[in-house]
Structure 1
Amino acid sequence: MFPNLPLSPVSVAQRRGTMQVACQKTRVLCVALAVLVCVLVLCPWNFGPAKSVRKRILIPTTKFWRVPERSGSFWNKEQQYLDFTHNPILSSLPDWLNDTGPLDPCEPDPRVSAQIEDYDSLPQHFQDFLLHMRCRTYPMLIDQSRVCDGDPFLLLAVKSLIPHFDRRQAIRETWGRVGTLANRTVATVFLLGNTVSADLLPDLQGMLGHEAELHGDLLQWDYRDSFYNLTLKEVLFLKWFGQNCPSARFVLKGDDDVFINTLRVLDLLEGLAESKVRDFFIGDVISKAGPHRDRKLKYFVPESVFAGRYPPYAGGGGYLYSGELALRLYNASRRVVLYPIDDVYTGMCLAKLGLAPEMHSGFRTFNIEEKYRFSPCVYRSLMLVHSRTPQEMKRIWSWIVHPDLVCP
């Protein structure tokens, strides 16, 4: 046995140094392991045969949004004003948008003739539309507030004119017949404006009042009924719908010279999935269109009024949409400036909701081939055909409902 000898000062120092070195190595190892774990967790690794390539994150060098410059077209500038006023992140308007016209939107707008350079050369009805483009409030002359009692499954809303007594009566006797059809409740309203002395038309208001009392299906507003005011008719109807018929399940909006196979429409709606009802809107869709610049055409709109392309829209002869969407369309319409072509305007309102109409082959707003126009079975497969006379409507309807007609 060796006696316990005291360590020399040199040995103690050596042992302390060795321990310090070991501790340092341990700390370095721990740090290295921690770094390795972080790398493994945070960085993607590819253990396959191909090497991973890290994509470089691109940072925009310009602003993602900027204030648009003033448009040279009157409608576009008015729309810019609405867009600014409904934008929650903007607190003030640019100076060029402060020129908003008269305080009363139903007063003639004096800015129109000054800001639209070719205003004097436009048709009189077009000028009339532009002067009152901001007005959306007109009194009702004839109302039918109880037409939707019972919450109809389908509401037929037909655009008509005061003198078209024969068309309205043909519709009542055929595809617009109210009541229960195919076990579903159907209601019909006719949408009318008014005439002014400048139209040089006979005063038929007395006859219209008798018709309204007899059938209870007329809605009339006190504004000048013209082609360019069909958009106004659209907006006024949507407002009326929200107040008097909000529970109607579906709406079919059409002209008074179309034929509608109501039975086929109801059959389609019966098979519609519930998930599709909210955004349901079908018709004869027109895409990638723009304004006509030829002054000889009915749909002429000059660049001084509108610049740009049209969103997808369904031909105004007729289209079918859900009642739920009708309520949202009215809210959207308050954020879209009235446009002189009603079906384009409806497409604009749909676009404001982030939607587009769906094409359906059963809607033929540009008619069908002449060789099929007198084929009974063809009409059984279609939903809407434009255009047909009152006599043709009655003839086609007799084909549709005839129990002995057998179609392949």
Structure 2
Amino acid sequence: MENGRRHVRHVSIGILGAAAIFFLYLNWDWTSVSRTSSAPWSDPGPYHVAYPRNYKYIMDDTPTCRTKTPFLVLMVHVATGDVAARDAIRKTWGSEKLVLGRPVETLFVLGLPGGAEAERQQEELRRENLRHRDLVQSDFRDSYRNLTIKTMMMLEWLAAHCGQASYAMKIDSDVLLRVHNVVRLLLDPGTAKRDYLTGLVWWHSPVLRNPFNKFYMPRDVVAEPEYPPYPLGMAYLMSLDLPAKILAVSPAVKPIFIEDAYLGFCLRRLGIAPTDPPEATMFIVDPEHPLSGCSLSRVIAVTTTSIPQMTRYWQSGRQPGARC
């Protein structure tokens, strides 16, 4: 009998403990948790309110859009410590400077490094930029929860410096970009020159209410059941009249940490809808690897699983005869 009571008592304590942990989870201030672009929830640090408009650039001496006027500016979002990804892109698709007769430039968008090695890493970034002059860095903490800040600072930079360029593209650092296919799409007579934004557009994307999901959004932040249509953040193209327009309406749009969904809210405020690409296979976020030569010949942007894989795909896509 005593053993039975002891068992019941242990079970009760376990249930109460689990309930307490669940309660703490639901009420924890997750905004105090930061995550770098390249690691899971392992970067405890201050969380800055998404895009409060008081950040400044601390590294942006690139000649792009100052002494050079590109047709297309590629803006790669990359973690501060991911030198390998930057170097791989510089050697592959980021090395393509003249495509179908149009000048193309590639830049890397960064925030500040964090942690015990932040000062050393910042000095390494400074030396890296002296070699390549392709870093655009602002003084916000570079983390997963601050991707909205990174996106809006990218738009600020484009609006301030690249008014004479035609198009810009935001790309994640794990994405293979077929620059030839990008430029070919932009030169198509059917591609709009203004109010144009395309990528893998998510229509009727539900607002997730499960607090265990990393994209959880409470009703007091977003009351609607669906987000406005938006291009998935892996890669999207825009005409260069849009950055200034998005920035102009952004003060009236409540910022959220899901940066591509926030872009959708700004677009809705402008009365502009994103455009689906001509072919659904142009933007692939979750491909089945390995990709065939046919797929590579048609794709614009596709997520890869490693630097060697991205390099192989880039080399394969440049070989003659890789067609459907």
- The question of whether the paired residues in 1 share the 8 Å contact of 2:147 and 2:257 is answered with yes
TM normalised by structure 1 equals 0.65
Partner of 1:124: 32
Structure 1 distance, partners of 2:53, 2:180, is 35
Letter of the 1:317 partner, please give it: M
Instruction: Specify which of 213, 222, 234 is matched with residue 130 of structure 2.
Output: 213
- The question of whether the paired residues in 2 share the 8 Å contact of 1:246 and 1:327 is answered with no
Q: Percent identity between the aligned chains?
A: 30
CA deviation after TM superposition for structure 1 residue 253, in Å: 0.5
- Structure 1 runs (4+) deviating above 4 angstroms are 126-129, 199-202
Deviations 1:105-131 (A, max 9, x none): xxxxxxxxxxxxx653425237954x6
Letter of the 1:174 partner, please give it: T
Partner of 1:19: none
SS at match of 2:55: coil
1:331 aligned onto 2:239: no
Letter of the 2:113 partner, please give it: T
CA deviation after TM superposition for structure 1 residue 321, in Å: 1.1
Letter of the 1:177 partner, please give it: S
Structure 1 distance, partners of 2:314, 2:123, is 31
Instruction: Specify which of 274, 285, 306 is matched with residue 366 of structure 1.
Output: 285
- The Cα RMSD (Å) is 2.3
Deviations 1:233-287 (A, max 9, x none): 111111111111111101111110111110011111111347x211211111111
Structure 1 distance, partners of 2:60, 2:96, is 17
Deviations 1:48-105 (A, max 9, x none): xxxxxxxxxxxxxxxxxxxxxxxxxxxxxxxxxxxxxxxxxxxxxxxxxxxxxxxxxx
Structure 2 distance, partners of 1:145, 1:333, is 26
1:239 aligned onto 2:156: yes
1:284 aligned onto 2:200: yes
- The question of whether the paired residues in 2 share the 8 Å contact of 1:191 and 1:237 is answered with yes
Partner of 2:37: none
Q: In the TM superposition, what are the counterparts of 1:304-315 in structure 2 within 5 Å?
A: 304-308=220-224, 309-315=226-232
SS at match of 1:204: helix
Structure 2 distance, partners of 1:187, 1:203, is 28
Structure 2 distance, partners of 1:387, 1:230, is 20
Structure 2 distance, partners of 1:200, 1:340, is 25
Letter of the 2:52 partner, please give it: C
CA deviation after TM superposition for structure 1 residue 316, in Å: 0.5
Instruction: Specify which of 195, 213, 219 is matched with residue 113 of structure 2.
Output: 195
Structure 1 distance, partners of 2:318, 2:263, is 33
Structure 1 distance, partners of 2:160, 2:322, is 43
CA deviation after TM superposition for structure 1 residue 315, in Å: 0.6
Deviations 1:302-322 (A, max 9, x none): 223322121011111011111
- The question of whether the paired residues in 1 share the 8 Å contact of 2:194 and 2:242 is answered with yes
Instruction: Specify which of 262, 267, 270 is matched with residue 187 of structure 2.
Output: 270
Letter of the 2:32 partner, please give it: Q
Partner of 1:177: 95
SS at match of 2:94: coil
Q: 1:340 to 1:332 in 2, by over 3 A?
A: same
- The question of whether the paired residues in 1 share the 8 Å contact of 2:145 and 2:257 is answered with yes
Letter of the 1:393 partner, please give it: M
Structure 2 distance, partners of 1:152, 1:286, is 29
Structure 2 unaligned regions, length at least 5: 1-25, 35-44
Deviations 1:209-249 (A, max 9, x none): 11111111001111111112111111111111111111110
Letter of the 1:192 partner, please give it: L
Deviations 1:118-173 (A, max 9, x none): 653425237954x6346212122211352123310010001011111111111111
Residue-pair matches, total: 286
Greater C-alpha radius of gyration: 1
SS at match of 1:228: helix
Partner of 2:239: 322
Q: 1:247 to 1:316 in 2, by over 3 A?
A: same
Partner of 1:24: none
- The question of whether the paired residues in 2 share the 8 Å contact of 1:157 and 1:189 is answered with yes
SS at match of 2:28: helix
Structure 2 distance, partners of 1:133, 1:225, is 12
Q: In the TM superposition, what are the counterparts of 1:1-400 in structure 2 within 5 Å?
A: 120-122=28-30, 124-125=32-33, 128-129=46-47, 132-133=49-50, 135-148=52-65, 149-197=67-115, 203-273=120-190, 276-308=192-224, 309-360=226-277, 361-370=280-289, 373-400=290-317
